[in-house]
A = this chain, B = another copy of it.
Amino acid sequence: MTSSCRVVALSGGVGGAKLALGLSRVVPGDALVVVANPGDDFEHLDLTICPDLDTLTYVLAGIDDQTRGWGRAEETWNFMDSLRATGGETWFALGDKDLALHNERTRRLAAGETLSAITADVTRRLGIAARVLPATDDRLRTIVETEKGGLAFQHYFVRERCEPRVRGFRYDGAATARPNPAVLEALASSALEAVVICPSNPYVSIDPMLAIPELRRAIAAARAPVVAISPIVAGRALKGPAAKMMAELGVAPTAAAVARHYGDLIDGLVLDAPDTGIAVPTLVTDTVMTTATSKAALARAVLDFARSLQ
């Protein structure tokens, strides 16, 4: 089934999902495999919530809210408003439509299905042709080490609004997590043209996946070039705390720092403006994806660049 996989994209949430959508426009059907970061997943209100997986699902299905940048389009918030009135926890906003996916997933996980199987079924029902795969079905959780102690990612990101200074990261469960077999199969595909590291936060969107030893080895061993797109544009992250984290860790927020971060895992870097001190080949192009056209254009440029590195 994945022997025909041409592109594997590793992605976090919003920024990565934009490129994943662009890739889905230029790589037909299940020749595109999108691997979702599981490090953000968490349990809340007795629900298993997978923010990056869900963002990818909504974006690829074309039912995401493009103004807000997360969650579903034409969402309503009656559950949340009523929960507030009955005294529940409301720091993590759950829309009424969004909630259906969490409820269905939680129920099916409890019934013994794997996250991969549930995701495959849900994405098929929502009409997504690409394959969306959680990096692992095992438990893997990003802990942000801060001046206030270790915080589960969503607690850091949403509840604490990324305010506590970051000291480092821990990926609980990664060392023993088994990669999703379908991801390994895709990476071993003879038709593979590129492994794309989407413009996602290196620390909390990509590293949780790379911290799975067998997955990292499989990426390194893939016959196709590994190309990363810098999430840092003009010294800032377009979305999220990547630049703030880099600064707090004493790293200048530049595309070169992103390249150094990935080290010899990548064969090329795509970035917005020329930068110095990058050890791998680079492609300088507009990486800000504001329209459907610019998403597909970047996807095409990334794949052409990968082909040139072959």
Residue of B nearest to A88 (CB): B104
Interchain CA distance A80-B103 in the complex, whole Å: 11
Establish whether residues B110 and A97, one from each chain, have CB atoms under 8 Å apart when the complex forms.
no
Q: A264 near B: Cβ within 8 Å?
A: no
Establish whether residues B103 and A45, one from each chain, have CB atoms under 8 Å apart when the complex forms.
yes
Q: A129 near B: Cβ within 8 Å?
A: no
Establish whether residues B75 and A100, one from each chain, have CB atoms under 8 Å apart when the complex forms.
no
Q: A154 to nearest B CB, angstroms?
A: 17
* Residues of B with C-beta under 8 A to A45: 103, 107
Q: A90 to nearest B CB, angstroms?
A: 10
Residue of B nearest to A90 (CB): B100
Number of copies: 2
Residue of B nearest to A99 (CB): B79
Establish whether residues A86 and B46, one from each chain, have CB atoms under 8 Å apart when the complex forms.
no
Establish whether residues A110 and B46, one from each chain, have CB atoms under 8 Å apart when the complex forms.
yes
Q: Which of B79, B81, B85, B125 is close to A125, meaning CB atoms less than 8 Å apart?
A: B85
Establish whether residues A100 and B79, one from each chain, have CB atoms under 8 Å apart when the complex forms.
yes
Interface residues contributed by chain A, number (CB under 8 Å): 31
* Residues of B with C-beta under 8 A to A86: 100-101, 104, 122, 125-126
* Residues of B with C-beta under 8 A to A81: 97, 100
* Residues of B with C-beta under 8 A to A46: 46, 103, 106-107, 110
Q: A82 to nearest B CB, angstroms?
A: 3
15 A-B pairs in the complex with CB atoms less than 8 angstroms apart: A46-B106, A46-B107, A72-B82, A78-B95, A78-B96, A79-B100, A79-B103, A80-B100, A81-B100, A82-B97, A83-B104, A86-B125, A86-B126, A88-B100, A96-B99
